[in-house]
């Protein structure tokens, strides 16, 4: 029945799943019925908290008749194998960003979902954040004219959070582009209509002990005539959350006294010890994130339109119009990340896909690769695999 909760299985019980646990616990439109994880401790913890069945592998999860849809929260390089298994099992898929590491794998995933007749949704990503959705609604209303320019900035400690070795290797999806840049790209593409055309960028890899990209700046042009600038640094110095009212990325207040703790935690650790430290952030091992009091966000974002500039905040959107300035609140729901469940339920129960489809995730991934290619070549890169917010794809 359409009113029944979506019976959801989970592939991977690591950090990504941990961040969704508060949502799954409080939104009765989804019911966790199974999980797949290689560590017995994680499976036991899942069964104790949610019931259902713990599977050692994703193939068994994909063949579980109690499961309607699968949330794939495994490491980036495993996404393709797990999405293909889910599609083969006839399950709808919510796959954590990025869709995949390579464009070839992205193609295989999109094609497999289409062939199986299942929905493929890429998220959670910050393009689902309510203030982003509110800004998009304002833009689509036409009240403030066309979008002309978007500026997006974010400075974090991402590169110094505990990492497994492959998370520091670009070719395996490591670095800031695939894990973080895709958030910023998703947001900017959503606000500018999706159809990006060209990318010019530079990247920074400045710490030999973390030999992957830790920063980038990019200029993106769009078919609409709009353009966007994006800057990100994960080098754990300046923290742009000070520009967001000291509200952290996950929507909880941030204590300024915690400055520097990411780097401090890594002092004296070798790669094995660092990987072990990361397991303390996984389900059954670590603690849940602090409760959100505001919306999640991805740093300061300003949208410049013909008749107003829109500043996104953890509370909503501040409008700087021609002759007046006002604030439009985006109320914080009781269920965190409610918009992600909205999208999943609409797709599974009503056959209504969100903007963030597999094709959308592939288009955002293309921008990640274009940033790397532009930085390496020193030239702008033309994009060929883009799609609009309504699902229209660029002709081949």
| Domain CATH code at residue 44 | 3.40.50.720
Query: Is 192 inside a domain boundary?
Result: yes
Domain extent at residue 110 = 6-126+336-356
Q: Are residues 135 and 74 in the same domain?
A: no
pLDDT tens across 223-257, in order?
Answer: 999 999 999 999 999 999 999 999 999 999 999 99
pLDDT at residue number 286: 67
Q: Are residues 135 and 121 in the same domain?
A: no
Q: Are residues 161 and 68 in the same domain?
A: no
pLDDT at residue number 77: 96
Q: Are residues 155 and 301 in the same domain?
A: yes
Beta-carbon contacts of 311 under 8 Å, excluding residues fewer than 6 positions away, are: 300, 301, 302, 303, 317, 318, 320
Q: Are residues 147 and 274 in the same domain?
A: yes
pLDDT at residue number 52: 92
Query: Is 318 inside a domain boundary?
Result: yes
Q: Are residues 33 and 136 in the same domain?
A: no
Core vs surface per residue 180-207: b (16+ CB within 10 A) or e: bbbbbbbbbbbbbbbbbbebbbebbbee
Query: Is 239 inside a domain boundary?
Result: yes
| Domain CATH code at residue 194 | 3.30.360.10
Q: Are residues 238 and 285 in the same domain?
A: yes
Query: Is 371 inside a domain boundary?
Result: yes
* Domains in the chain, number: 2
Q: Are residues 115 and 211 in the same domain?
A: no
Q: Are residues 165 and 105 in the same domain?
A: no
pLDDT along the chain (396 residues), means of 10: 87 94 96 96 93 95 98 97 98 98 98 98 97 98 98 98 95 96 98 98 97 98 98 98 97 94 95 89 76 96 98 98 98 94 98 97 98 98 96 71
How many residues are given for the chain? 396
Q: Are residues 202 and 299 in the same domain?
A: yes
pLDDT tens across 73-82, in order?
Answer: 999 999 999 9
pLDDT at residue number 282: 79
């Amino acid at each position: 029945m359409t009113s029944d909760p979506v019976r959801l299985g989970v592939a991977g019980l690591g950090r990504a799943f941990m961040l969704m646990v508060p949502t799954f616990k409080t939104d009765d439109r989804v019911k966790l019925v199974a999980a797949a994880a290689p560590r017995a401790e994680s499976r036991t913890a899942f069964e104790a908290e949610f019931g259902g069945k713990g599977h050692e592998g994703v193939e068994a999860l994909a063949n579980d008749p109690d499961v309607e849809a699968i949330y794939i929260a495994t490491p980036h390089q495993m996404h393709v194998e797990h999405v293909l298994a889910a599609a083969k099992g006839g399950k709808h898929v919510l796959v954590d960003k990025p869709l995949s590491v390579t464009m070839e794998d992205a193609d295989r995933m999109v094609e497999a979902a289409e062939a199986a007749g299942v929905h493929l949704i890429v998220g959670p990503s910050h393009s689902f954040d309510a203030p982003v959705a509110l800004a998009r609604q304002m833009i689509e209303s036409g009240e403030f004219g066309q979008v002309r320019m978007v500026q997006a900035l974010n400075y974090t400690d991402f590169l110094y959070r505990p990492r497994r070795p492959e998370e520091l290797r670009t070719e395996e999806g490591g670095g800031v582009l695939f894990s973080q840049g895709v958030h910023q790209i998703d947001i900017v593409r959503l606000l500018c209509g999706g159809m990006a055309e060209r990318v010019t960028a530079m990247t920074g890899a400045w710490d030999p002990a973390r030999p992957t990209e830790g920063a980038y700046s990019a200029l993106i042009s769009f078919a609409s005539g709009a353009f966007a600038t994006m800057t990100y640094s994960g080098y754990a110095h300046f923290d742009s959350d000070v520009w967001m009212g000291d509200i952290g990325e996950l929507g909880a207040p941030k204590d300024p006294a915690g400055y520097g703790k990411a780097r401090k935690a890594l002092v004296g650790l070798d790669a094995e010890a660092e990987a072990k430290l990361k397991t303390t952030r996984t389900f059954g091992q670590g603690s849940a994130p602090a409760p959100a009091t505001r919306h999640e966000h991805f740093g300061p974002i300003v949208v410049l339109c013909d008749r107003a500039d829109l500043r996104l905040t953890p509370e909503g959107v501040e409008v700087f119009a021609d002759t007046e300035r006002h604030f439009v609140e985006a109320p914080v729901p009781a269920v965190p990340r409610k918009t992600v469940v909205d999208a999943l339920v609409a797709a599974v129960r009503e056959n209504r896909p969100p903007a963030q489809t597999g094709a959308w995730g592939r288009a955002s991934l293309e921008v990640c690769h274009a940033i790397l290619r532009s930085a390496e070549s020193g030239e702008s890169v033309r994009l060929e695999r883009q799609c609009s917010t309504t699902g229209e794809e660029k002709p081949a």
